[in-house]
Amino acid sequence: MSNTHCPGFESNKTLSEMKVKCPACEKEWEIFSDELEKTLKCAACGEVVDAKTCVVKK
């Protein structure tokens, strides 16, 4: 195994995972920390979700 990484490795190694929960259907899914500023769409019900307001607290 070599010690080389894919080209985008350095810019992505500081990302963390977090869970968000759809306020409409309560489906939970994981996103990366760089997606917090985005508006997401729930795959289960299609609701448009503001990731910042729907983060599940640990």
Residue 12 pLDDT more than 70? no
Domains of the chain by range and CATH? 15-53 (2.30.30)
Give the pLDDT confidence of 23-57 residue by residue, as tens digits: 999 999 999 999 998 889 999 999 999 999 999 97
Q: How far apart are the first and last CA of the chain?
A: 36
d(Cα 23, Cα 1) in Å, to the nearest integer?
44
Integer CA distances (angstroms), 29 to 5, 9, 13, 55, in order: 27, 23, 20, 10
> Is there a contact between 25 and 56 (Cβ–Cβ < 8 Å)?
no
pLDDT at 49: 93
Min mean pLDDT across 3-7, 20-24, 26-30 is at 3-7
Q: How confident is the model at residue 14 (pLDDT cuts 50, 70, 90)?
A: confident
Q: What is the pTM of this model?
A: 0.71
| Alpha helices, DSSP H, located in 1-58 | 9-12
